[in-house]
């Protein structure tokens, strides 16, 4: 997968929140074989005790030689998201930013109006934006017009583990933008959900809670990595299409008839 001129061999992006311990997080990251981890700047805040804790956390990640994708998680306004993105660029020395502008508290659904506005501002300032969005085609078009080169539609609400709530919408988004890198972000709970996303032709999956909240995070991380690879291979194999009627898998022509 190519994003903003960077080639990624792994199609699994992994979050770094909610693990039982830093050691378990590192083991899970290594088991996943991911090349990109997301980090919420709110945990990496500069200054005071929070800044010291953030520096220790960054010291744990740095030896893993991964790409960091800072996240404006928890931002509910354009101003807040833009400010957080600028802080992230200073802390992590990267132009990449996973842009979240949350519009609804219960579902954490993106505020797509604010998202497009924030994306325009950040891209004009040199950021390479990974927008957390919905599967809405019009919003997708607006984000691409703003300069986004990748889209990250949700599968279902963050942390819900419900999988893909709107398969039709995700499939339609893929069909309308065949050349755009698409990453299913949020709601993945099982390896089968990740495989399904990849079978739809998506380029990657980003998840956190499904691994961090599992009883054995490293084992689940490995399972997710295997599922992503299997789903991608299935998509490339051009699977058979679903039918309404049965179709015999054993040929009947030339079979002997016994009387």
Q: Which of 6-20, 34-48, 104-118, 127-141 has the lowest mean pLDDT?
A: 34-48
Annotated catalytic, 98?
A: yes
Residue 244: pLDDT over 80: yes
**pTM for this model (two decimals):** 0.89
The single residue of 89, 98, 142, 222 carrying the catalytic annotation is 98
Question: How do residues 33-76 score in pLDDT, each as one tens digit?
Answer: 999 999 987 645 544 444 445 567 778 888 888 999 999 998 99
**Residue 46 burial (CB count, 10 A):** 13
* pLDDT above 70 (res 258): no
Residue 141 assigned as binding residue: no
Q: Is 208 annotated as a binding residue?
A: yes
Residue 195 marked in a binding site: no
- Is 209 marked as a binding-site residue? yes
**Phi and psi for 112 in degrees, rounded to 5?**
-70, -25
């Amino acid at each position: 997968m190519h994003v903003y001129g960077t080639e990624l061999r792994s199609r699994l992006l992994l979050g770094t929140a909610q693990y039982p311990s830093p050691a378990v997080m590192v083991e899970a990251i290594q088991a996943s074989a991911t090349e990109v981890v997301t980090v919420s700047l709110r945990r990496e805040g500069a200054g005071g005790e929070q800044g010291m804790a953030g520096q220790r956390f960054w010291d744990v990640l740095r030896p893993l030689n991964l790409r960091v994708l800072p996240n404006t998680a928890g931002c509910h306004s354009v101003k807040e998201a833009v400010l957080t993105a600028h802080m992230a660029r200073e802390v992590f020395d990267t132009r990449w930013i996973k842009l979240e502008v949350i519009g609804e508290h219960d579902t954490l659904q993106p505020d797509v109006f604010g998202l497009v506005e924030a994306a325009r501002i950040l891209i004009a300032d040199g950021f390479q934006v990974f927008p957390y969005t919905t599967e809405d085609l019009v919003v997708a078009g607006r984000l691409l017009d703003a300069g986004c080169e990748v889209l990250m539609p949700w599968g279902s609400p963050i942390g819900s583990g419900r999988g893909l709530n709107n398969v039709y919408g995700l499939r339609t988004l893929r069909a309308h933008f065949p050349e755009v890198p698409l990453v299913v972000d949020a709601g993945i709970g099982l390896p089968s959900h990740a495989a399904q996303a990849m079978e739809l032709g998506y380029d990657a999956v980003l998840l956190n809670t499904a691994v961090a909240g599992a009883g054995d995070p490293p084992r689940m991380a490995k399972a997710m990595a295997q599922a992503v690879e299997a789903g991608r291979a299935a998509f490339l194999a051009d699977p058979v299409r679903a039918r309404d009627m049965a179709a015999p898998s054993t040929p009947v022509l030339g079979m002997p008839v016994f009387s």
